[in-house]
Amino acid sequence: MDKTMSQLDIAYELIKEEGHIFTFKELWDKVSEIKEFNEDDKIDKVSRFYTNLIIDPRFVSLGDNTWDLRENQTFDKIKLDMNSVYSELEEEANAAFEDDENPSPIESNDDENEDENLSEEDSEKEDDID
């Protein structure tokens, strides 16, 4: 592999060629070695690599910080715990509902105050005319 390739392309080729699941550490160590990163570079670049790995649709996390290519995994092998997804949505909905039941006091509307002030002025003018 060529060190001029992107980190993600190197990771893709590594998993494809070696044909097995990698831990994040194993994958990062191999990518860093190919890219010839020194220790400071490895520390500076690891979080960006991890973020990009998560975002890149070619890769899939299998849990326990292990990674594979999405093309190697069937849908039933990739488990997404929907209970946690639904419980988070339920918590958000409940919080929003509670906020609706206890609305904050409404601040006075300046337009309404202005109308009231005009009415008072008009009343005073009428008194002057009489």
SS3 66: strand
Please report, in tens digits, the pLDDT of each residue of the chain (130 residues total): 888 999 999 999 999 999 999 999 999 999 999 999 999 999 999 999 999 999 999 999 998 999 999 998 876 555 555 565 566 667 777 777 666 665 555 554 555 555 555 555 555 555 555 5
CB 53 within 8 A of CB 11: yes
Dihedral sign for Cα atoms in the order 67, 72, 75, 77: negative
pTM, entire model: 0.57
Distance CA(111)–CA(106), nearest Å, equals: 14
Output the pLDDT for position 87: 65
Q: Which of these CATH numbers, 2.60.120, 1.25.40, 1.10.10, 1.10.357, describes 7-77?
A: 1.10.10
**Per-residue b or e along 15-45, where b marks 16 or more CB atoms closer than 10 Å to that residue's CB:** beeeeebbebebbbebbbebbebeeeebeeb
Closest CA to 67 of 11, 13, 17: 11
- Spell out the domain ranges in the chain: 7-77, 82-129
